[in-house]
């Protein structure tokens, strides 16, 4: 899990550069949870949502599944959170009203997250061993389920499991390192009993 800097409209270039490595981690995410404050005025929420989605697109993470947690619902009364949700429904991806403070609807958020991880697939990649390889492999071990790792003379072959969009981010990194990447089809053959 990685928590990134909040996306701010017209963020100064120096700050973008300072947070670039944190933002870059987003492209390797299995899932993005965008947290917006539902207690803010509707126009502010819409603007922040737009800025966040544009930033996610700009860093190359727009293909990653996204859930929007509309937090601080406990600060609103008389169905105001639900009314705002109705107005935001077309602009906000997979919205869930929550209150982190009061732990309201956290179970719904967890269920939605769990649904996103039910489609794990396998992939295999081969890389030439270079100075960059150990750091990348360490990251892969930390962020995915590595099933097998084999070293040959000058290469390493890794079989791993993950969410399709996350593996797409790994594919991009492997290709930047001049490696080969292959998705492994799910075994759909009947099992013998």
pLDDT tens across the length of the chain (193 residues): 556 656 665 666 676 667 767 777 788 888 899 999 999 999 999 999 998 898 888 888 888 889 999 999 999 999 999 999 999 998 898 999 999 999 999 988 987 887 777 677 889 999 999 999 999 999 899 888 899 999 999 999 999 988 777 788 898 899 999 999 998 876 533 334 3
Query: Do the beta carbons of residue 106 and residue 69 sit within 8 Å?
Result: no
Residue 160's φ and ψ, nearest 5 degrees, are: -140, 170
Q: 165-188: b or e for each residue (b if 16 or more CB lie within 10 Å)?
A: bbbbbbbebbeeeebebeeeeeee
CATH code given to domain 121-184: 3.30.70.260
| DSSP character at residue 99 | B
pLDDT of residue 3: 61
Beta strand 145-151 with 155-162 is antiparallel
Structure confidence at residue 23 (pLDDT): 75
Q: What pLDDT, on the 0 to 100 scale, is given for residue 188?
A: 39
Q: 78 Cβ partners below 8 Å, 6+ apart?
A: none
pLDDT of amino acid 63: 82
Question: What Rg value do the Cα atoms of the chain yield, rounded?
Answer: 20
156: β partners: 127, 151
The pTM (predicted TM-score) of the whole model is 0.60
Q: HSE on the CB side for 89, CA within 13 Å? A: 6
Per-domain residue ranges for the chain? 13-116, 121-184
Pick the CATH number of 13-116 from 3.90.1150.10, 3.40.50.300, 3.90.1660.10, 3.10.20.30: 3.40.50.300
Question: Cα(184)–Cα(59) distance, rounded to whole angstroms?
Answer: 27
What tokens appear for 8 in the block? 């701010």
């Amino acid at each position: 899990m990685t928590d990134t800097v909040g996306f701010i409209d017209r963020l100064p270039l120096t700050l973008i550069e300072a947070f670039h490595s944190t933002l870059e981690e987003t492209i390797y995410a299995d899932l993005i949870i965008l947290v917006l404050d539902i207690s803010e005025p509707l126009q502010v929420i819409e603007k922040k949502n737009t800025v966040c989605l544009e930033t996610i697109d700009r860093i190359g993470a727009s293909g990653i599944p996204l859930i929007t947690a509309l937090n601080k619902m406990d600060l609103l009364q008389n169905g105001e959170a639900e009314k705002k949700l109705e107005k935001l429904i077309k602009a906000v991806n997979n919205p869930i009203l929550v209150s982190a403070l009061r732990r309201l609807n956290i179970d719904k958020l967890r269920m939605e997250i769990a649904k996103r991880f039910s489609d794990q697939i396998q992939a295999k990649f081969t890389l030439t061993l270079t100075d960059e390889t150990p750091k990348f492999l360490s990251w892969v071990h930390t962020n995915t389920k590595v099933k097998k790792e084999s070293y040959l003379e000058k290469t390493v072959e890794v079989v791993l499991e993950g969410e399709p969009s996350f593996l797409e981010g790994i594919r991009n990194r492997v290709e930047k390192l001049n490696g080969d990447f292959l998705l492994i089809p799910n075994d759909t053959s009947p099992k013998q009993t």
